[in-house]
Amino acid sequence: MAINYPNGKKFNPSKEPVKKKEKKDFSFSNRGKTLEDELNETNDYYLQLGHAVIHKKPVPVQIVKVEYPSRSAAVIREAYFRTPSTTDYNGVWNGRYIDFEAKETENKTSFPLKNIHEHQIHHMAQVVEQNGLAFMIIRFSSLQRYFLMRFESLQVFWDRMITGGRKSITLKEIEETSIEITPGAYPRIDYLSSLHKL
């Protein structure tokens, strides 16, 4: 029996069935999320439970030129950073002021110190001088490993670089001087538990 398409062409089935490409399952939880996304969700969780009040700092931007293509819309055409931002997050936990920077790297063996700026080191040093807690959360994205490094440890590696030494912190050094954070469901990055250990 001959089968025709609606346009009149004859249907000729190929001898080999067409193989459908198998879809890979990329539906792992948190895939594609940045460290910032994960920390923002964690901080919302802490806030809702009353554990801490920690927020991402807004970037200090000076808007120079705005256009209004319609009455209900505004488009920023030109803006500048007013001052260099300090660290990413700050707030209060357990009666203590906390201030920290969050950094990601795809490197598998070390964390490049070029990802940190001198004014951030200076800011964290000032926080520690006032008896606040300053630290850095590092995510090795390709390894899916997270570490909390106290500012005091970071300062040692920074000073080493400034005096002509290594320009990165090896993974082994991070493992020895930091607390590894095991990702979970709620909260995703429970860094407050690591602060308890400090």
Write the pLDDT tens digit of every residue in 87-102: 889 999 999 999 999 9
- Helices 118-129 and 151-162: angle between axes, nearest 10 degrees: 140
Residue 29 pLDDT > 50: no
Query: Binding site, residues?
Result: 86, 88, 101, 120
User: Does residue 99 contact residue 134 with C-beta atoms inside 8 Å?
Assistant: yes
What average pLDDT does range 54-72 have in this prediction? Answer: 77
pLDDT at 108: 94
Which amino acids are annotated as binding site for Mg(2+), given as ranges?
86, 88, 101, 120
16-25: per-residue pLDDT in tens? 555 544 443 3
Please state, in angstroms and rounded to a whole number, the distance separating the CA atoms of residues 140 and 153.
18
Helices (H) and strands (E) in the chain, counts: 5, 10
- CATH for 38-58+84-197 is 3.40.1350.10
More confident residue, 141 or 5: 141
Instruction: Return the number of other C-beta atoms located less than 10 Å from residue 177's C-beta.
Output: 16
Domain locations along the chain: 38-58+84-197
Rounded-to-integer distance, Cα 26 and Cα 21, Å: 15
- Cα 178 to Cα 33, 76, 117, 134, 163, distances in angstroms: 23, 41, 20, 13, 22
